[in-house]
Structure 1
Amino acid sequence: MRIVLDTNVLVQALGNAKDGIVLVDPATGHNVDRAEARAEALIEMVDARGGTVLIPTPALAEYLVGIDRNFHQSHLDVINGFSCFEIISFDQIAAVECARMVDDNELKVLDPAATKAKLRFDRQIIATALATNADEVWTHDVGLYSKAQKCGLVVKSLGDIEPAPEQLEADFDH
């Protein structure tokens, strides 16, 4: 099993979500509760199956933008500390996949000056998933979710996995 994480799922998996951020399931439009616990369950499931969590370099770049520069290395150390995590580059094969994603309708309306803008991080993440034959892409970005599905990828969100049950502390004093 090889899964690709988009930035919004990576943030949850690394326990770095900002307070007040609510993830929405792109398929249902419903809020996803306990997103961090669900991300933890996802990583544990992949690891237990001997799978790999692929982190495309564009997703890593987006993640690091949200981190103070003084702490980039410590975050990279955490990521590299997960045995099931693998950072994957946007390489030549991914570049070809990215270019092929632009369909005929898009080409007709594409301003030559806007070509670079079309090759955004979302498409690079999808192209990397295609280039590495990933089994699934996990995201909460509606645009990425839709485009990845159109490209034939299995796309999921944290709403598709159940978190581990919450442990309640017993009050033995009463």
Structure 2
Amino acid sequence: MVVFDSTVLILLLYPEAKPPIDPATKAPLTDCKARIEFLISKLSESKTPILIPTPVLSEVLVRTRNEKSDAYFDIMRKSPAFQVEPFDSIAAVELAHLIDEALASKKELTAAETWAKVKYDRQIIAVAKTRGCTSIYCGDGNLAAVASKNGMKPIMTWELPLPPVNQQQELKFDEQSKTDPEPGRSAPEDAELAAAEVSQNREIGEEESEKETEGSVNLAEAAEPKPKIIDNPPE
């Protein structure tokens, strides 16, 4: 299982969101849409569940307060591709044991940090660790540092690979049709179709697994599906 932070989730739900800055070029990251689509396709192929901690969900919903927010949240709840998990009592105990010099020493924070953000980031890591996540896809260096110190592999947005050349050309060729809703269809409906495609790939893999190993535990059944999806970018 992997976890998304709010930056990655917003790029997924809102392809036109302002791209993050690539430290290597000091310019906005190129081909964000293609990178995110390729990531989702690889996670779908490997039937890897995507965790969305409720602190991430709340941040995205706050940033996207409009008529589409409820539609995206409803899609998330119904899609087994995503699991929305709360910051509960188990996560609270985990947070208390995180390796975190900032919380332990009360050191002076940088301009990019506040104590509220420090605690918010730790809640995300605590939820992820208690759900068995091994990697976090994020766009925040401070969050990535805490994840790394606590045994999780951070993958930054600017580290996401581009799809193979032939696939990338195919994505660009179809960019207009995927960016805008088809005539007569809303953006949330397009998002629902995308989530359904991810879910279908997982279901196919689960059926094949059942045929190979009779009586094996179905991942989607073992963990109650708590789907997710949201909309609108941060300025």
Answer 1 or 2: which has greater helix percent: 2
Instruction: Give the Cα–Cα distance (whole angstroms) in 1 for the partners of residues 25 and 90 of structure 2.
Output: 33
Q: Which residue number in structure 1 is paired with residue 5 of structure 2?
A: 6
- Percent identity over paired residues: 29
Q: Which blocks of at least 5 consecutive residues in structure 1 are unaligned?
A: 111-115, 170-174
Q: How does 1:1-174 map to 2 (within 5 A)?
A: 2-15=1-14, 17-18=16-17, 21-24=18-21, 31-101=28-98, 103=100, 106-109=103-106, 117=116, 120-158=119-157, 159-163=159-163, 164-167=167-170
1:78 maps to amino acid: I
Instruction: Give the Cα–Cα distance (whole angstroms) in 1 for the partners of residues 103 and 84 of structure 2.
Output: 30
1:71 maps to amino acid: K
| TM-score of the pair, normalised by structure 1 | 0.78
1:92 maps to amino acid: S
The structure-2 alpha-carbon separation of the partners of 1:25 and 1:52, relative to structure 1 and needing over 3 Å to count, comes to: farther
RMSD across aligned C-alpha pairs, in angstroms?
Answer: 2.6
The structure-2 alpha-carbon separation of the partners of 1:81 and 1:151, relative to structure 1 and needing over 3 Å to count, comes to: same
The structure-2 alpha-carbon separation of the partners of 1:83 and 1:104, relative to structure 1 and needing over 3 Å to count, comes to: closer
| TM-score of the pair, normalised by structure 2 | 0.60
Instruction: Give the Cα–Cα distance (whole angstroms) in 2 for the partners of residues 15 and 66 of structure 1.
Output: 12
1:147 maps to amino acid: V
Instruction: Classify the secondary structure of the residue corresponding to 1:55.
Output: strand
The structure-2 alpha-carbon separation of the partners of 1:72 and 1:22, relative to structure 1 and needing over 3 Å to count, comes to: closer
User: What number of residue pairs does the alignment pair up?
Assistant: 161
